[in-house]
Amino acid sequence: MKKKILASVLAALAVAVALTACGGSSSTPAAPSTSGDGDSSSPEYVWKMALNSTEGDNAYDTAAVFKDKIAELTDGRVQVDLYGGAQLGSTTEVLEGMSVGVADIMCESVGTLAPFTPLANIDIMPYMYTGYDHFMNVWNSDLGDEIKETVGEAAGYKLLGATYRSPRIVTATKEMHTVADFSGFKLRAPNLEGYIKVWQWMGSAPTPLAMNETYTALQQGTVEGQENPMVDSLNYAFDEVCDYWIKTNHVYSCNLLIMDRNYFNSLPEDIQAAVTEAANYAGKTISESQQAREAEAEEKLISEGKTVIEVDNAEFAEHFKDYAATEYPDLADWVSRIVAMG
């Protein structure tokens, strides 16, 4: 069940209203105007897309492709306006405020829904995937559809598409190679229980911090590292403060489009179909380009003289073999089915 934190929602709504007054939009269908030949000249639906990131990030780029595709599929009946850099509020504020118009759609990872349902922690289970092909096979299968539908229904949202983000790695101010090296390691981790537990299982000392605080924390030595996909880590300029880039490949998280479930269900069937098709198209388009971006990112790091470390992933996977059954027994079936598809 969704939590409703009134102060957060009202604050985020105030931001959204201010943005609307400055050229933003509302999801309320507009009465279409027509030109002399009868063609619609204005959209019926204008949606606010909330994004934490900016251009060049996996989620933002997925949203940009979706924006263009949904306009094409609906002949301009749906217009999507992108609000990057958390302009509409934090992830939680946006998700809690969707039902009152803070935003109409968001691109984020499945794991961000964990505060609404523990089932969303499937996105954070370590060492389930062997690589890109395995990930794509899962999320474009009946199992992927089952996960999206089950998590979405439990949380109160409609989950659409699936974008490969690349595996999460560690950027650090010190060199590490083995599981034992991570004992006591101070790192920034997302403020989600699933990520905190992963690093506690490693014997590390995870510190929840906002992303915009992480660079300074690394610079000042408050933390010794952080974890994110390589491309995203470069976008945040962590190469300026971290000399060691450790390919732990511990979690493959999935970005997707998120809408309020009741609102999605209220849309005409043809609009629902177009949203679904556009989300799938955007996910596959960005996923296909992500591997090349990973390779380019690694080449850039090497050219800068950074140390890119390949660890023994089998050792790390063995360390986590009992993790799901111990920490998240309700997810053990999904985990075993995902692993079996590798």
Is 231 in contact with 290 (CB distance < 8 Å)?
A: yes
Residues whose CB falls within 8 Å of the CB of residue 192, separated by 6 or more in sequence, listed in order: 111, 112, 114, 115, 124
Using only the alpha carbons of the chain, give its radius of gyration. 20
**What does the pLDDT look like over 261-287, one tens digit per residue?**
999 999 999 999 999 999 999 999 999
Which pTM does this prediction carry?
A: 0.85
User: Residue 70's pLDDT is what?
Assistant: 98
Is 50 in contact with 83 (CB distance < 8 Å)?
A: yes
Distance, in Å, from the CA atom of 312 to the CA atom of 314, rounded to the nearest integer, reads 5
Q: Sketch out the chain's domains with CATH numbers.
A: 6-33+43-114+125-164+254-291 (3.40.190.170), 168-251+296-340 (3.40.190.170)
**What does the pLDDT look like over 169-185, one tens digit per residue?**
999 999 999 999 999 99
Determine the residue type at 34. T
Phi-psi category of 145—alpha, beta or left, where left has phi over 0 and alpha has psi -120 to 50? alpha
Is 175 in contact with 307 (CB distance < 8 Å)?
A: yes
User: Residue 54's pLDDT is what?
Assistant: 87
**What does the pLDDT look like over 14-66, one tens digit per residue?**
444 444 433 333 454 443 333 333 344 699 999 999 998 889 889 999 999 99
**Helix, coil or strand: residue 257:** strand
Distance, in Å, from the CA atom of 209 to the CA atom of 187, rounded to the nearest integer, reads 9
Q: For residue 96, list its beta bridge partners.
A: none
**Alpha helix positions (H), the chain:** 6-21, 58-73, 91-97, 132-139, 142-155, 193-201, 211-220, 230-235, 261-266, 269-303, 313-319, 323-327, 332-340
User: Residue 9's pLDDT is what?
Assistant: 42
User: Residue 211's pLDDT is what?
Assistant: 83
Q: What percent of the chain has pLDDT over 90?
A: 82
User: Residue 27's pLDDT is what?
Assistant: 53
**What does the pLDDT look like over 298-333, one tens digit per residue?**
999 999 999 999 999 999 999 999 999 999 999 999
pLDDT greater than 70 at residue 1? no
**What does the pLDDT look like over 81-126, one tens digit per residue?**
999 989 999 898 999 999 999 999 999 999 999 999 999 999 999 9
Give the mean model confidence (pLDDT) for residues 123-152: 97
Band of the pLDDT at 259, cuts 50, 70, 90?
very high
Place of tokens 């590490």: 176
